[in-house]
Amino acid sequence: VYTYSATITVLARSTDADSAEKAATLLAHMKSMSEAGHPELKPNVVNYNSLLNAYIRSRKPGAAQKAEDILDRMELSVEEGGDDVQPDRLSYFLCINAWGRSSDRNAAARSEQILERMEKWALAPYTNAHPHMMEPLARSRVQLEVEAYNMVLMAWARNGSGSDAAQRTMEIVQRMTTLANDGFEVVRPNVRSWNPVLNVLGRSREPGAPRQAEIVLQRMYEMFVAGYTDVRPNGLSFAAVLKAYLRSTGREHGAAQRADDIVRWMEELYMSGQIAEPPNVYHYTIVCTAWAKSQQRIAADRCSQILQHMEQRYEAGCWEAKPNTRTFNAVLDGLSRGRVLEKAEELLDHMLELYKNGDNDARPDCFSFNAVINSWTRKNHLDGGEQAFNVLQKLLKFHREGNPDVKPDSRSFVHILAFYSRRVEPEAPILAERVLDQMIELFKNGHKELEPTAFCFTFIMEAYAKSNNPDGGKHSERLMKQLVKVHEEFGVERLVNNAFVVNKVLKAWSYSGQIDAGQRAEEVLLEMESAYETGNKNMKPLASSYSLVLSSWAKSTLPNKARRAANILRRMERQYTNGNLSCKPTEEAYSTVINACAFTHGDMDEQLEAFDIAVKTLNEICECAYDAPVSLTYGWFLKACGRLAGSCDVGEHHAKRAFQMCCEAGQVSEFVMAQLRFAVSDDIWKELLRPLEVNDIMKHKPQFTDVPLEWRRNVFGRNTNATDKARVHLRNARRKPES
């Protein structure tokens, strides 16, 4: 039996993936040999415990369940199908441990069930004992021990973070306390029992969890003061409460301040000798992180003060308080969020200087540089991008000078590119291209973490559009071709030309102001449609694609722009009719066509053609089943009446009809009123505005508030351009005007 036992023990300690199954096979062989007439080979509890230990070390799924199956057989009598081996304290302890280490989602609950079975087995001899005999009997009993309970508590801390886990851990600790008060002092909760409770609360997102964790910590301290020395809070206890407040930062007001107060209380307790551990770098860093995430005005200053306090404590001999990279990063994050830009870069330079002088704990990492880059890109001034670019160069220099693991990631560049995409200065897209070129060059030279995405290119296209660069359309097309080239040369899967990219090119053309912008944008759209029709689903046109081309034509000075805009609208309608639901024509599309008509230049024939298109387009949207005109639509149509047909009765007739429809739709805005005045004669003006109670309407310009509420009930704002809001409102409560 000793040979078998030794072999099973060796297997239990082995790292072989199949060692547990081999040990189980060997134990089964011992049992069969014993039943076949070799009683000396009968397995004992030591052999079974070794097998349980093997399952603890096994990483295979189901190992914990197999350990429990063995315990089940040990508990049963031979008559009940058991193995005729009674479990001992270690058997239960090992099975609890097996479930505690399991990744099963119910592992904590299963380990607690084993603990309850252990309790029942251990307390069975005392069930019928006289109450006054309980305490002496309990003192002689050693089957229960605090570490078995602690193991279950730690399982809950590892596998649960909700209200159920918090409730279970609190109930277990309360049960331990009750048993201890009944004489089983060996299971009285200690600091290792309470810390899992704090850890569960620290990971919980339940409202009030941080405050509950703080109450538990206070209770531990009070019990320690009352004489229960094993429950004295340690550094882990305080850290768990701090993490609870950190997780609630942003959801609960004052969380950062409470974390700050707890660390100061911890300092006071240590200085007075009541706890053994002072706050260390981990505790201070949590508080700095909480302040950084709090978005409070004092956050940046408080982070700086805590860092200074840590440095002072370190210089005074408290080695545990020495700031490390994570501490500096938390402070950098606080300064960045607080937009204390110069201080953030000064702190980064301080870290670089400390590291240069031999302080490895202050070695900056990628986050350190990115935090400062991000802080500069939050600045509302063009030099913010240049400052961020300079920090990026510091990062690259640090990387080249013997720090291969500290290297830029895509965010290092994207923050700067996104910054330039928000700028309107002419040089913004040029500076952005410099950043992209450097990123692509590094990627080509082996920095695979700098794999560009489509956003890297579209940010620059957006910058060209925002700056109204006359060559923005051309440059955006060039960037789109560069995107395709990088994708094809290096197989970058995420770098795929798609409708989003094309829309940015179309936007750049729309904002360029070039005389041929409409024509060029239409050519890009045609290529997009062709690619989609030949099977490229990434090129599926969107409603915004057509709207941008319409906008390009509307801004054009070419005399045929009304006709070209109407043709784009027809193509948009065909896309929708053919099943592309993303191209459903909107009020914006119809309004833009009418706008193109209203501002058509050319001879009389061209202007009259444009007016006919405007009338037809207004009729179409009025008859549309899924959208309706808004104040802007009517305003542009009235503009067309005034500019293109203002000298004829036909123009006044259509203007009068359009205004009446506008009144019925509740879309009369100041813009509509202004366009009506120049579209109709004085007599019709007075006739249409007769419901307004204004004396001498020819001398006194009607105010928006003079307009009957019924006429303006669906107008958002006074000189509204808020077509999106109007569109949403009209979809909910639209009154279709008469044709």
Position 13 scores a pLDDT of 87
Position 730 scores a pLDDT of 36
User: Is it the case that residue 556 has pLDDT exceeding 80?
Assistant: yes
Spatial CA neighbour of 528 closest among 537, 518, 519? 537
Sign of torsion, CA 547 551 554 558? negative
Sign of torsion, CA 152 158 162 166? positive
Position 617 scores a pLDDT of 97
Give percent above pLDDT 70 in the chain: 92
Query: Between 253 and 616, whose confidence is greater?
Result: 616
Confidence of residue 468 (pLDDT cuts 50, 70, 90): very high
Structure tokens at 503: 């829309």
Task: Name the strand (E) or helix (H) holding 684.
Answer: helix 682-688
Spatial CA neighbour of 287 closest among 326, 315, 253? 326
Confidence of residue 731 (pLDDT cuts 50, 70, 90): very low
> DSSP string covering 241-302, please?
HHHHHHHHTTTSTTHHHHHHHHHHHHHHHHHTTSSS----HHHHHHHHHHHHHH--TTHHHH
Residue type, 322: K
Tell me the whole-structure pTM to 2 decimals: 0.79
Q: Compute φ and ψ for 6, nearest 5 degrees.
A: -65, -40
Spatial CA neighbour of 638 closest among 668, 664, 609? 668
Angle between helices 45-57 and 19-35 (to 10 degrees): 160
User: Is it the case that residue 330 has pLDDT exceeding 80?
Assistant: yes
Burial of 21 (0-12, 13-18, 19+ CB in 10 A): middle
Residue type, 457: F
3-state secondary structure 450-515: HCCCHHHHHHHHHHHHHCCCCCHHHHHHHHHHHHHHHHHHHCCCCCCCCHHHHHHHHHHHHHHCCC
Alpha-carbon torsion, ordered 621, 623, 628, 631, to 10 deg: 70
Position 126 scores a pLDDT of 65
Q: How far apart are CA 583 and CA 542, in angstroms?
A: 5
Confidence of residue 161 (pLDDT cuts 50, 70, 90): low
Spatial CA neighbour of 300 closest among 347, 332, 252? 332
Question: Helical H runs in 279-362?
Answer: 281-294, 299-315, 325-337, 341-356
Length of the chain: 739
Confidence of residue 360 (pLDDT cuts 50, 70, 90): very high
Structure tokens at 622: 């009025």
Query: Could you give the 3-state DSSP secondary structure of residue 377?
Result: helix
Spatial CA neighbour of 330 closest among 366, 304, 308? 304
Spatial CA neighbour of 595 closest among 561, 645, 558? 561
User: Is it the case that residue 738 has pLDDT exceeding 70?
Assistant: no
Angle between helices 587-598 and 723-732 (to 10 degrees): 130
Confidence of residue 647 (pLDDT cuts 50, 70, 90): low
Q: Which residues contact 270 (CB under 8 A, 6 or more apart)?
A: 276, 277, 278, 279
User: Is it the case that residue 86 has pLDDT exceeding 50?
Assistant: yes
Q: How far apart are CA 296 and CA 183, in angstroms?
A: 51
Burial of 382 (0-12, 13-18, 19+ CB in 10 A): middle
Q: How far apart are CA 66 and CA 671, in angstroms?
A: 78
Position 141 scores a pLDDT of 34
User: Is it the case that residue 585 has pLDDT exceeding 90?
Assistant: yes
**For residue range 473-515, what is the model confidence (pLDDT) as tens digits?**
999 999 999 999 999 999 998 899 999 999 999 999 999 999 9
Mean pLDDT of the chain: 90
Highest-confidence range of 76-85, 393-402, 600-609, by mean pLDDT? 393-402
Sign of torsion, CA 666 669 672 677? positive
Position 717 scores a pLDDT of 53
Burial of 182 (0-12, 13-18, 19+ CB in 10 A): middle
User: What share of residues in the chain are helix, strand, coil (percent, to 5)?
Assistant: 70, 0, 30
User: Is it the case that residue 722 has pLDDT exceeding 60?
Assistant: no
3-state secondary structure 599-651: CCCCCHHHHHHHHHHHHHHHHHHHCCCCCCCCHHHHHHHHHHHHHHCCCCHHH
Structure tokens at 288: 């700095």
Confidence of residue 209 (pLDDT cuts 50, 70, 90): very high
Q: How far apart are CA 567 and CA 517, in angstroms?
A: 16
Q: How far apart are CA 356 and CA 664, in angstroms?
A: 75
Spatial CA neighbour of 552 closest among 581, 528, 523, 584? 523
The residues spanned by each domain of the chain are 623-732
Confidence of residue 122 (pLDDT cuts 50, 70, 90): confident
Position 700 scores a pLDDT of 59
Average pLDDT over residues 298-323: 96
Average pLDDT over residues 543-568: 96
Q: Are 384 and 376 in contact (CB under 8 A)?
A: yes
Q: How far apart are CA 136 and CA 128, in angstroms?
A: 14
Q: Which residues contact 676 (CB under 8 A, 6 or more apart)?
A: 638, 655, 659, 685, 688
Confidence of residue 200 (pLDDT cuts 50, 70, 90): very high
Q: Beta-carbon neighbour count of residue 120 at 10 Å?
A: 11
Query: Between 724 and 525, whose confidence is greater?
Result: 525
Sign of torsion, CA 179 181 182 185? positive
Structure tokens at 678: 């120049």
Q: How far apart are CA 436 and CA 555, in angstroms?
A: 31
Q: How far apart are CA 622 and CA 738, in angstroms?
A: 8
Query: Could you give the 3-state DSSP secondary structure of residue 35?
Result: helix
